[in-house]
Amino acid sequence: MTAPALDDLLGGMHVVAVPMRVPFRGVRVREAVLLEGPRGWGEFAPFLEYGPAEASRWLASGIEAAWEGWPEPVRDTVPVNATVPAVGPDEVAGVLARFPGCTTAKVKVAERGQPSSADVDRVAAVRSALGHGGRIRVDANGGWGVDEAADVLGRLARYHLEYAEQPCASLEELRDLRVVLGRRGLDLPVAADESIRKAADPLRVKALGAADVVVVKVAPLGGVRRALEVVAACGLPAVVSSALDTSVGIAGGVALAAALPSLEHACGLGTVALLGGDVTTEPLVPDHGSLPVGRVPVDPALLERWSAPPDRTAWWRDRVVAAYAHLDAGGPG
């Protein structure tokens, strides 16, 4: 697609700053740019560590949503998982209560500064809350080396994990971990997340045999259409996840999950429940464990309620301009 003129993009942008209910990967306030275009609203909210070239893919995703629209869905609802941050076991039940009807939970592990025993206690509490029929997946965000990952996952295996998401940082480590787990007799699938969205070539996961599942996020891959291409090329089961978005961004993830030919796993798109506010009166929070497919109506009063301070709005405006300059190389095509 052809990107809109920069002036049109900037003219329809709104910057919001929404507090988190609990800190999530160190984030206490989630800032995002909402883009209004002829097809509705898109979101641009790359995390702070992304430079302009990487951030341009997030901008491409927001432009696709607001100016082009999404492919036709093949399902009307998308099953989602609960997300449990690195909280203490006594807080688990309260977190899960924010995800009504969800029978799958993604549990954050390998939190910096916490011992592995905290991971075990947290996962044990989730298993107790979900019962034997619930599914549990753990997400280490690349926080372990191969040996530590194998050891901790061996201790967590008693809780019958669905898979381990990004236990190690690199694709080579994921490949080696799969070998070690196999030698130890642990039948535990490995999922690649950061290795897909941060890699220059997201398809190397298939070439190296580094994962059993791919976790894909719409924004870091450049939009729904680009993400569909990556999933098809990888040839592995896909889980669609979010990047800690408002309901506008989540709607893009739902659009991707709704367009996938096959959807074997619940998706990580229930994270609006972790925010202390939203930009719509119809937030995309789980209902009976699933989310509806469709557009999100943005409420002007909530845009004003969560409006970012002028200095942060200016900072994000500069970031949009910098990312826009890279669209021809890594943005919408």
Binding-site residues for Mg(2+): 139, 165, 193
User: Which entry of 106, 198, 206, 217 is annotated as an active-site residue?
Assistant: 217
- Strand-pairing partners, residue 162, are none
Q: Taking every pair of C-alpha atoms in the chain, what is the biggest distance, in angstroms? A: 58
Closest CA to 166 of 94, 108, 96: 108
N residues, the chain: 333
Q: Which pair of structure tokens corresponds to residue 220?
A: 């870091």
Active site residue 108: yes
Q: Is residue 106 annotated as part of the catalytic site, yes or no?
A: no
Nearest to 234 by CA among 212, 262, 267: 212
> What is the C-alpha separation between 145 and 20, in angstroms, rounded?
29
**What three-state secondary structure class fits 58?**
helix
Distance between CA 274 and CA 271 in Å, rounded?
Answer: 5
Residues 30, 114, 118, 195: is their CA dihedral positive or negative? positive
Phi, psi of 142 (to 5 degrees): 70, 20
264 and 53 Cβ atoms separated by less than 8 Å: no
Residues noted as catalytic: 108, 217
